[in-house]
Amino acid sequence: MSTTPGQKIADEVIARYRAKTQQSAKLHAEAKKIMPGGETREVVTYKPYPAFMERGKGCYVFDYDGNEYIDFVGNYTSLIHGHCDPDINAAIRAQLDKGTALASPTVLQVEHAKILCNRIPSVDMVRYTNSGTEATLMAIRTARAVKRKDMIIKFEGAYHGTQDDAKVNVVPDLAPQGLPKAHVEGLGIPQSTLQNVVVAPFNDLDAVETLLKQYQDKLAGIICEPFLASLGTIPPKPGFLQGLRSLADRYGVLLIFDEVQSFRQSTGGMQLKENVMPDITAVGKLIGGGYPIGAFGAGRDIMDRFDYDPMNPDAIQHSGTFNGNEISMTAGIASMKKFDQKAVDHINGLGKRLADGFTGVFKALGLKCQALRVGSQLNINFTDKELSNALEWVMSLIPCMELQRLVHLELLNRGIYSAKRSEFVISTPMTAKEVDVCVQKVEETFAYLLPYIQAQTPHLL
Ligand code: PMP
């Protein structure tokens, strides 16, 4: 049987990965017996099997074969200070002897909340949840409660977590006729979800206005990731976020920013960076210092409804066993204290260095790829065309999915831990050294894969 040069390289990449990660192969086989797919979170697995990480330190992770990787995943942007940050760990150790959840309001919650309210311009008051999913769920519920309407607009490609309303058009309508058609993603999500969620392409204010006109009487709000953080790192076009603010005001709906990822863009999130104020904000990830967390907040007029009084017809209920638990609060306070302007400038500067490095690699190798960056996070995208929404991104990726998989595996072979969707995230312990090593490894990887690219994805050349 003849093997093409492309196939030969693909086989080599996988063979070297298997040779390097033999313990992971065994652990994966064991895990598969008791967890479907051998994992409990789709985003962390890939074929032939994922590397099992044993520990992390600073911006490095180590697998069970003792391989070292520079960690550009950072638990999907939540580990802003890397692994085992000494200040966060010291704070946690001290807190462990005082209790983990006291089932009362606590001083730590007040301290954490003051930090959030001081930093996020549009937020006067906050409530805590245990995940970003719950934070966006509560943000949407708040909009519905305030407006007494059920419908929301969401953007294609925006990821807001795993609740039903969020599982609509993360993957876009691939053949839209006019406005995209809304669909639920996956079994088990009621079709009735679509009665209350309509979708627009990101960066398309005309589409938003069309929906606002069409459903004006039913719409409570618009939920928006200020950039498509989980899908290509597609930034907002100049004026897009401001345009959303104006449209929300003009049509009397609430604007929700999901800043679960974008909070790291400045000391007060993308809203501070772009000077656009939403009505309701959801946050998570880094505000928990590496521990589970979410929070949602808004102006006092909206949040006062959570001061629950069953006699108040405007009141909104909110509860949760682990909300504001002492460990997440402690770690979050320590994390945010270190996440000051200097830290923001440091990671954003390294983000630029990484993106510039990747751009240089693609130019040198004559590859039609691009690094799209927003601050300290970026994505390698397999096209040189401008990307402004999820459909454009998916269409560029479809012919390159196997290449994307090989790039990811080959980077693991060369000691770089990136997200399988070709995402790279900077953490504060990184220096120019780690960034430059990553650029070099990306260059080596693409140079090595050139015969594969010539054979399988020649449109990239
Ligand atoms: N919103 C955004 C923008 C996110 O990136 C995520 C998680 N990747 C979520 C919400 C959901 O957060 P969690 O995974 O903590 O539920």
Q: What is the CATH number of the domain that holds 288?
A: 3.40.640.10
Boundary-marking domain end, from 318, 338, 358: 338
Nearest one of 326, 262, 344 to 112, comparing CA atoms: 326
Q: Tokens 């929301």 appear where? A: 152
pLDDT at 6: 87
Last residue of a domain, one of 338, 353, 387: 338
User: Is the pLDDT at 448 greater than 80, yes or no?
Assistant: yes
CB atoms closer than 10 angstroms to residue 230: 20
Query: How far from 186 is each of 40, 171, 304, 416, CA to CA, in Å?
Result: 17, 11, 36, 32
Mean pLDDT over 161-184 rounds to 97
pLDDT exceeds cutoff 90 at 335: yes
Q: Are residues 101 and 73 in the same domain?
A: no
Res 103: pLDDT = 96
Average pLDDT over residues 355-376: 98
pLDDT-derived band of residue 4, with 50, 70 and 90 as boundaries? confident
pLDDT in tens, 16-31: 999 999 999 999 999 9
**Is there a single domain that holds both residue 76 and residue 171?**
no
- Last-in-domain residue among 338, 371, 395: 338
On whether the CB atoms of residues 365 and 450 are closer than 8 A, the answer is yes
Give mean pLDDT, residues 299-318: 96
Q: Which of 128, 261, 262, 322 has most ligand 1 atoms within 8 Å of its beta carbon, as the pocket-test mutant?
A: 261
Atom of ligand 1 nearest to the CA of 131: 15
Nearest protein Cα to ligand 1, atom 10: 160
Q: Percent of the chain having pLDDT more than 70?
A: 100
> Same domain for 98 and 229?
yes
pLDDT value of residue 231: 97
How many folded domains does the chain comprise? 2
What's the whole-number average pLDDT of the chain?
A: 97
CA–CA distances in Å: residue 5 to residues 8, 11, 15, 424: 5, 10, 15, 29
Burial class (CB in 10 A: 0-12, 13-18, 19+), 35: exposed
* 309 and 355 both lie in a single domain: no
At 262, the pLDDT band (50, 70, 90 cuts) reads very high
Residues 264 and 381 in one domain: no
Nearest-Å Rg of the Cα atoms of the chain is 22
Indicate whether 120 and 220 sit together in one domain: yes
Closest atom, ligand 1, to C-alpha of 158: 3
pLDDT at 5: 79
- Pair (64, 144) in one structural domain: no
Mean pLDDT across 8-21: 97
CA of 365 from ligand 1 middle (Å) equals: 35
The arithmetic mean of pLDDT across residues 105-126, rounded, is 98
pLDDT of 1 above 60 = no
Q: Which residues line ligand 1 (CB under 6 A)?
A: 76, 131-133, 136, 159-161, 225, 229-230, 258, 260-261, 284, 294
| Residue 2 pLDDT > 70 | no
Give residue 124 CA to ligand 1 midpoint distance, Å: 22
**How many angstroms is it from 284 CA to the middle of ligand 1?**
7
- Between CA 61 and CA 53 the distance in angstroms is 7
Digit-coded pLDDT (tens) for 76-90: 999 999 999 999 999
Indicate which residues carry an active-site annotation.
Answer: 159, 258, 285
- 67 and 21 in a single domain? The answer is yes
Note whether 192 and 258 are same-domain residues: yes
This prediction's pTM: 0.98
Which residue type, as a one-letter code, is found at position 418?
S
Distance (angstroms) between ligand 1 centre and the Cα of 61 equals 22
Cα distance from N-terminal residue to C-terminal residue, the chain: 28
Check pLDDT > 60 for residue 260.
yes
Residue 3 has pLDDT above 90, yes or no: no
CA gap 354, 376 in Å, rounded: 9
Are both 112 and 236 inside the same structural domain? yes
Please check whether residues 179 and 253 belong to one and the same domain. Answer: yes
> For 255-275, what is the mean pLDDT?
98
| Domain of residue 435, CATH code | 3.90.1150.10
- Residues 424 and 291 placed together within one structural domain of the fold: no
pLDDT per residue over 394-419, tens digit each?
999 999 999 999 999 999 999 999 99
Containing domain of residue 421, as a range?
Answer: 5-80+340-460
